[in-house]
Amino acid sequence: MISILFLCSDLHKMNMNSVCVSLFSKRHLEKFCNCKKFLSAKAYIFDKQFDNFPKATDFKLVEEELGPIKDGEFLTEAVYLSVDPYMRAYAPRLKTGKTFLGSQVARILESKNDKFPVGKHVVGEFGWRTHTISNGKPSPTGVPQAWVLPDFGDLPVSLALGVLGMPGNTAYFGFLELCQPKKGEMVFVTGAAGAVGSLVGQIAKIKGCKVVGIAGSDEKGKWLTDELGFDHFINYKSDDLVQKIRECAPNGIDCYFDNVGGEISSKIMFNMNTFGRISVCGAISGYNENKPPKATLVQYPITMNQLRMEGFIVHRWLDRWFEGIEQNRKWIQEGKLKYRETVTHGFENMFNAFADMLKGGNIGKALVKV
């Protein structure tokens, strides 16, 4: 015998309170009154603004009971949650007291919206939570709150948070559109063993470029050169960066895909060729600092070498979203694009996975399997 909270429409018809707390077993109660039990969602509430590196106590884990879905809505259950650096970068803009931000791959359990049929998987901007009721409408900035996964064939649905989703499109559009790489050119990428960087380097190889990846461990470097086909690897934690840059690129650098910012990026820019192109994707080296770190002025090489440096947010290419996914899927099928995932198990380990990713503990895409 267990005690459960039921919203009971049949009891309601019998003029009894619509919310009944029962000491019947669940099975007896369901049989007796055809009750519908509403799911509880677990959610991480952003409780305190981060002070430098995030702490577990900056979050509160709560349970919220979900009501019935209305016309136009659907109910989902999270399968994979994404763990991304932007969660740290955007945190100062977020209000506390709300579910922490993030994307997830979720399965549709119930639906009153034809565009989101039961059984399909969606990528939803639902935050750190297990169950969600959504209407799938775009946010005021035009970003869809949910999109149904296209057919991935045999590939796992988790890829919709990585190579076949936002990070994949970041690499595809952010690199090709802003760097405009040409065959034979020298490309540098930082954060090279992460979700985005590992794809940028491989796309550069597909386009016939020479590629140098910069990352923070030799294990990552081995993966980049031995498995992904990068030409060289630099360990920014243990190598003499300037000396290694000159060794790897004696004729200078044509394209730089910048994931990290700071002094590493300044040193790379001082070694770029005339009319070189820099795609600024992020600045992960500063995300955990309350005050942005200082780095050597980059205006000298930008001016003297007439470099073009442009930042982007991947949603710039929302109108071409499925083109990026389809191209990356084809490259995977052709064996030209490889991916890796670092998966943490259990919703209760969200914070651990987040902290680990911020310390560079992941290779490829960081995810939590619920």
Ligand X SMILES: CCCCCC(=O)/C=C/[C@H]1[C@H](O)CC(=O)[C@@H]1CCCCCCC(=O)O
Contact residues for ligand X (CB under 6 A)?
A: 85-86, 89-90, 93, 101, 166, 282-283, 313-315
Question: In this structure, which amino acid lies at residue 118?
Answer: V
By CB under 6 A, what part of segment 277-306 binds ligand NDP? 281-282, 284-285
Of positions 11, 204, 255, 314, contacts ligand NDP by CB under 6 A: 314
Question: In this structure, which amino acid lies at residue 327?
Answer: Q
Closest separation in Å from C-beta 85 to ligand X: 6
Of positions 8, 11, 146, 260, contacts ligand NDP by CB under 6 A: 260
Closest separation in Å from C-beta 93 to ligand X: 5
Q: Token pair of 300, please?
A: 């000298």
- Maximal C-alpha separation, the chain: 84
Beta carbon nearer to ligand X, 152 or 312:
312
Stretch that binds ligand NDP, among 145-153, 211-219, 249-257, 320-328 (CB under 6 A): 211-219
Q: Token pair of 231, please?
A: 């030409």
Q: Which helix (H) or strand (E) holds 148?
A: strand 146-148
By CB under 6 A, what part of segment 176-205 binds ligand NDP? 191, 193-197
Q: Token pair of 295, please?
A: 């780095």
**DSSP-assigned letters across all residues of 161-209:** GTTTSHHHHHHHHHHHHHH---TT-EEEEESTTBTTHHHHHHHHHHTT-
Stretch that binds ligand NDP, among 16-24, 30-38, 178-186, 358-366 (CB under 6 A): 358-366
State the binding partner of 357 from ligand X, ligand NDP, none, CB within 5 to 8 A by kind: ligand NDP
Find tokens 């909270």 and name the residue. Answer: 5
3-state SS, one letter per residue, for 232-265: EEEECCCCCHHHHHHHHCCCCEEEEEECCCHHHH
Sign for the CA dihedral angle at 103, 106, 109, 115 comes to positive
Pairwise CA distance, residues 317 & 173, whole Å: 7
Stretch that binds ligand NDP, among 137-145, 151-159, 258-266, 299-307 (CB under 6 A): 258-266
Binding site for ligand NDP (CB under 6 A): 84-86, 89, 167, 170, 191, 193-197, 215-217, 220, 236, 259-260, 264, 281-282, 284-285, 312-314, 357, 360, 362, 366
